[in-house]
Amino acid sequence: MLGLKLPTDPRWVNIVEKNIEEILTDHAFCEQKATSTAISLIVSFPEYTELVQEMVALVKEEISHFKMVHDKILERGWTLGRDRRDDYVIELLKFFPKGGSRTTQLVHRLLYAALIEARSCERFRLLSEELEDKELAEFYRNLMVSEANHYTMFLGFARQYGEKKEVDTKWQQLLEYESKIISNLGTSEAIHG
C-alpha cells in the first residue's frame, strides 16, 4: 500500500528494543518536526485554502502525538533528551533541486512529507508487530493508522496542485531514491535511522 521500494529489515526492531528511551526521544522529535512542517506549509502557501485547513487539523494531531510520546517517556521515569540529527531526512532533501515555481516547490514539499509519513507508518507497523513490550506495540499500532492517512493526504494534495502525471513520475523517482538511502540505514534506534 505504501509503495516503498525497500522494506525495513525486521531486525531493526532488535536494535530498538535495546534502547527504548532513545527511540521514544527520536520519535517525539519526529512528531514535533511533523507539526513544524504543517505550520511551515500554512505560512508558505496561505493561498491554498484547502491545504491550510488540513494543515491546521494536522498541527493539532501531530502535537497531540508529541504529547502522547512525551507522556510515554515520563511514564517510564525518563526525560526528553535533545534532538538528534536525522540523516534520512537530510539525504532525502537532496533529491529535488532548489528553486522552481511556487507550485513546483509546494509539490516537492508535499512529496517529501508523504514519503516521510509513509516510512514512519511502515516503521510503526514493524514496531507494532515485533516489539516484545506489548503495551508499546499497541501504542505503535494505533499511531500507524494515523500515519497512513497522513501519507495519502500529502500525496493527494501533490496530485491536486501539480500535474498528476508529472507528480506520479516524480513520486516513483523519489521512491527509488529513498530505497538507496534506507539501504544504508536501519542500524540505529531512530524512527528513520
Nearest C-alpha neighbor of 23 from the set 185, 193, 140, 189: 189
Are 66 and 80 within 8 A, CB to CB? no
Give the angle 16-18-21 at the CA atoms, nearest 5°: 75
Q: Is the pLDDT of residue 156 over 60?
A: yes
Poorest-confidence range of 10-24, 40-54, 64-78, 160-174?
A: 10-24
Distance in angstroms between the alpha carbons of the first and the last residue of the chain: 22
Average pLDDT, the chain: 92
Q: Residue 148: its pLDDT value, please?
A: 77
C-alpha cell at 82: 535533545
pLDDT tens digits, one per residue of 82-129 = 888 888 899 999 999 888 999 999 999 999 999 999 999 999 999 999
pLDDT band at residue 136 using 50, 70 and 90 as cut-offs: very high
Q: Is the pLDDT of residue 39 over 60?
A: yes
CA distance 184 to 42: 33
Q: Residue 1: its pLDDT value, please?
A: 54
User: Structural domains in the chain?
Assistant: 10-183 (1.20.1260.10)
More confident residue, 14 or 62: 62
**Amino acid in position 155:** L
More confident residue, 3 or 161: 161
CA distance 107 to 161: 7
C-alpha cell at 80: 526528553
Q: Give the CA distances from residue 126 to residues 13, 120, 171, in Å, rounded to whole numbers and listed in that order.
A: 7, 10, 23
CA distance 126 to 119: 11
Q: Residue 166: its pLDDT value, please?
A: 96
Q: Between 20-44 and 49-75, two packed helices, what is the crossing angle to 10 degrees?
A: 160
C-alpha cell at 5: 521500494
Q: To which residue does cell 514493524 refer? A: 126
Return phi, psi of residue 5, to 5°.
-85, -20
Q: Residue 139: its pLDDT value, please?
A: 94
Q: Which residues of 157-167 are buried (b: 16+ CB within 10 A; e: fewer)?
A: bbbebbeeeeb
Q: Is the pLDDT of residue 32 over 70?
A: yes
CA distance 153 to 146: 11
Q: Is the pLDDT of residue 70 over 90?
A: yes
Average pLDDT, integer, range 36-60:
97
Q: Is the pLDDT of residue 187 over 90?
A: no
